[in-house]
Chains A and B, each alone.
Chain A
Amino acid sequence: MQPGRASGPVLGIESSCDETAAAVLDADGAVLAEAVLGQGAHAAFGGVVPEIAARAHLAHLPDLAAQVMREAGVGWDALAGVAASSGPGLIGGLIVGSGLGKGIALARRIPFVAVNHLEAHALSPRLPGLVPGGAAFPYLLLLVSGGHCQCVAVEGVGRHVRLGGTIDDAVGEAFDKVGKLLGLPWPGGPAVERLAAEGDPARHRLPRPLLGRPGCDFSFSGLKTAVAQLVARFPPGGLPRQDAADIAAGFQAAVAEVLADRAANALAAFAAAHPDGRLLVVAGGVAANAAVRSALAGVAQTCGYRLVAPPLRLCTDNAVMVAWAGLERLRLGLADGLDHAPRPRWPLDAPDMGPARP
């Protein structure tokens, strides 16, 4: 395959958590078709149940892949490659997605790309048309989701420097837990944000873990505990709406302030290493939160950076970003063997991420 351009469309597959997704991109990265199936079955359990997720992925993914190929008008014989999220994430789903991808690849004798799910998020701003003028390397990525919370200097395909990350909960996990404490449906992020809009963020001064400290690590468990203690003062049963809204608003304000503080430190570290950097990218489901976005936009502006948040459907888990990461790798002549082992843990700066991969 010639570097610079894939020889045809690429199928992307995502199944690392609770979204089953497939997408087809043409050789230039334009989206020809995409589909995401959420899994409502987890709501009753207040979080993703790995075994339920794994079963649902296998039940739906083959049909979903066929569907996007039909919608894209692309025949299986026209594919130039298949890319599947192969880690990090829930192993049952990763086995299903990578297995399906490998099967298609070996049947058609086309390359298989074992995509690191975090790299798929990291490269998503480079999707054509997303950032005016394009997102050239390097840029700073703030990945904030239910499973991940980290600052990464994205220097190239397979070249990522992790500047900091959470030392306990992911920020989206904190939103989920607070949502549960307040009696809101899972996932907690959107529900907490809606309730916070009715509340007074100044009524409760909640802790801001690590605020003002050097570095760009995160911590959210103390904040979550503080919310639990506030809620525990109320008798069992539904909280009075205004009280719940004030707690939600106080929590969200604390999160936004902490994220902005940590992002400012990360930007300073990033700028020192990359004087040419101009872009702060925020990705992950928490990037949908308007208070978080606005706080980060403020930091970016202060530092002379532009904040870019991909549209929500590309911020949360999706297969478009997986196909795109596959395309970026195929353009560099990078592909993976059929013996690639999907893995639950796969840091972005792992040795096998680099372009030297065979």
Chain B
Amino acid sequence: MRILALDAALAACSAGVVVDDVLRASRRADAGRGHASLLPPMASAVLEEAGAVDLIAVTVGPGGFTGLRAALSLAHGIGLGLGVPVIGVTVGEALADALPRLGGRALWVAIDSRRDRVFLDREGSVEAWALPALPRPDGPVAVAGDAASAVAAALAACGADVMLTDARGPLPRHVAVVARRRYQGELPPLAAQPLYVDPPETRLPAQPPRPPPG
């Protein structure tokens, strides 16, 4: 199976073509906030290099909204243009695929959010936590993700049995493998839409509006 894997969930972004679970072409860049201008040429380049694909795999987060929107909209566009399905993959799933042997440790994927918060993906359940108020693990854990260092340190300071992994962000091959498994029904379906975790930030008007004229 030939898969285009796109990721712009975290600070870096990447595009790769993975054929039968083997990476055939890839591009990677540190994006800052420039995912929307960096990722499309990268996707075009790997498609030119490796040829047509049967499936688009794209990370849905948790992560930065700017990058997620850039990658997901691009993925849907390519999916429409080529007439192939678009399959969402969480950052946690991609990192778990990269860490198959954890010696019985539970994997916690920690993604940096704003204002001293992290998104914590514990076996597929994602919640936002304040760094100083993290939950305590029941047993030994392994920590991955771009906030792994801070989370591992905080957990170790509470006496938890923590292993810090070196998996910081999704890589195209793992994004593609998870998408293939999802497409083949080995994993539950997932909408190719951002995993926002939090509801949109809104503020209702300070004063209640005046009722309509009598």
Binding site for B on A (CB under 8 A): 44-46, 49, 51-52, 54-55, 58-59, 61-62, 65-66, 69, 76, 91-92, 95-108, 180-185, 195, 231, 236-241, 243-245, 337-342
Chain A CB within 8 A of B66 CB: yes
Nearest B-chain residue to A242, judged by Cβ? B213
Do the beta carbons of A99 and B214 come within 8 Å of each other? no
- Given contacts A92-B65, A96-B69, A102 and B74 within 8 Å (CB-CB): yes
Binding site for A on B (CB under 8 A): 34, 36-38, 40-41, 43-44, 47, 65-66, 69-83, 193-194, 196, 200-205, 209-214
Quick one: which of A55, A91, A338 has the most chain B CB within 10 A? Answer: A338
- Given contacts A49-B202, A97-B73, A339-B41, A106 and B213 within 8 Å (CB-CB): no
Do the beta carbons of A183 and B36 come within 8 Å of each other? no
Complex CA distance for A120 and B37, rounded to whole angstroms: 21
Do the beta carbons of A49 and B78 come within 8 Å of each other? no
Do the beta carbons of B200 and A52 come within 8 Å of each other? yes
Do the beta carbons of A96 and B209 come within 8 Å of each other? no
Residues of chain A within 8 A (CB-CB) of B41 are: 337-339
Complex CA distance for A209 and B69, rounded to whole angstroms: 41
Complex CA distance for A110 and B65, rounded to whole angstroms: 28
**Which secondary structure dominates chain A's binding surface?**
helix
Not counting A54-B65, A103-B40, A103-B76, a sample of 16 additional A-B residue pairs whose C-beta atoms are within 8 angstroms of each other reads A44-B204, A52-B200, A58-B193, A59-B193, A95-B70, A99-B40, A99-B72, A180-B205, A184-B212, A195-B213, A238-B214, A239-B214, A245-B213, A338-B41, A341-B34, A342-B36
Do the beta carbons of A341 and B37 come within 8 Å of each other? yes
**Whole-angstrom distance between the Cβ of B192 and the nearest chain A Cβ:** 9
- Given contacts A107-B78, A182-B213, A45 and B72 within 8 Å (CB-CB): no
21 residue pairs from A and B, CB less than 8 Å apart? A44-B204, A54-B65, A55-B196, A58-B194, A76-B83, A91-B66, A92-B65, A97-B73, A99-B40, A99-B73, A100-B80, A101-B77, A103-B43, A103-B73, A103-B76, A106-B43, A106-B81, A180-B205, A182-B210, A182-B213, A341-B34
Do the beta carbons of A340 and B73 come within 8 Å of each other? no
**Whole-angstrom distance between the Cβ of B113 and the nearest chain A Cβ:** 14
**Which secondary structure dominates chain B's binding surface?**
helix
Residues of chain B within 8 A (CB-CB) of A195 are: 213
Do the beta carbons of B80 and A99 come within 8 Å of each other? no
Do the beta carbons of B212 and A183 come within 8 Å of each other? yes
**Whole-angstrom distance between the Cβ of B197 and the nearest chain A Cβ:** 12
Instruction: State the 9 A-B residue pairs at the shortest beta-carbon distance, nearest first.
Output: A103-B77, A107-B81, A99-B73, A244-B213, A183-B210, A51-B200, A62-B76, A338-B40, A341-B37
**Whole-angstrom distance between the Cβ of B119 and the nearest chain A Cβ:** 16
Nearest A-chain residue to B66, judged by Cβ? A95
Nearest B-chain residue to A59, judged by Cβ? B193
- Given contacts A52-B202, A76-B83, A104 and B78 within 8 Å (CB-CB): yes
Nearest A-chain residue to B202, judged by Cβ? A49
- Given contacts A45-B204, A340-B37, A100 and B213 within 8 Å (CB-CB): no
The one of B43, B66, B77, B203 that contacts A45, using a Cβ cutoff of 8 Å:
B203
Do the beta carbons of A45 and B36 come within 8 Å of each other? no
The one of A95, A106, A183, A243 that contacts B73, using a Cβ cutoff of 8 Å:
A95
